[in-house]
Amino acid sequence: MYGIPNCDTIKKARKWLDENNIEYEFHDFRKDGVNPIQVRAWLDELGWETLLNKRSTTWRQLPGETKENMNDVLAIVVIEEQPTIIKRPVLETSNKRLVGFSEKNYSEALL
């Protein structure tokens, strides 16, 4: 699981995983940074529209030109500079990635 520990959505997702006895490792974007190769794989699979949190303060603070011209290549640059723009959590399983938290999606993917 990737995210930042003080995020409410991360807390909900971690609680759900713990309650369902599902083991996971947590990667803190702020403390541990992001791997550009991994981000590229996420973007290839999910697209920037799914991966970037357009409701975040980080997104709102981007220059208008950056938001208007956003694409997968520009998203990598923005994510490397400001990893908190990634919608949280990103949960990697052996065969898929889940972005955001939904009990239904987690149940379908993990139980």
H, E, C per residue of 56-111: CHHHHCCCHHHHHCCCHHHHHHHHHHCHHHECCCEEECCCCEEECCCHHHHHHHHC
Please state the separation of Cα 107 from the chain's center in Å.
18
Q: What is the pLDDT of residue 100?
A: 96
Asked about 7 being catalytic, the answer comes back as yes
For the stretch 26-71, pLDDT in tens is: 999 989 999 989 999 999 999 999 999 999 999 999 999 999 999 9
Q: What is the pLDDT of residue 98?
A: 96
For the stretch 65-106, pLDDT in tens is: 999 999 999 999 999 999 999 999 999 988 889 999 999 999
**Catalytic member of 1, 3, 7, 34:** 7
Q: Which H/E stretch holds residue 50?
A: helix 48-51
CATH number for region 32-110:
3.40.30.10
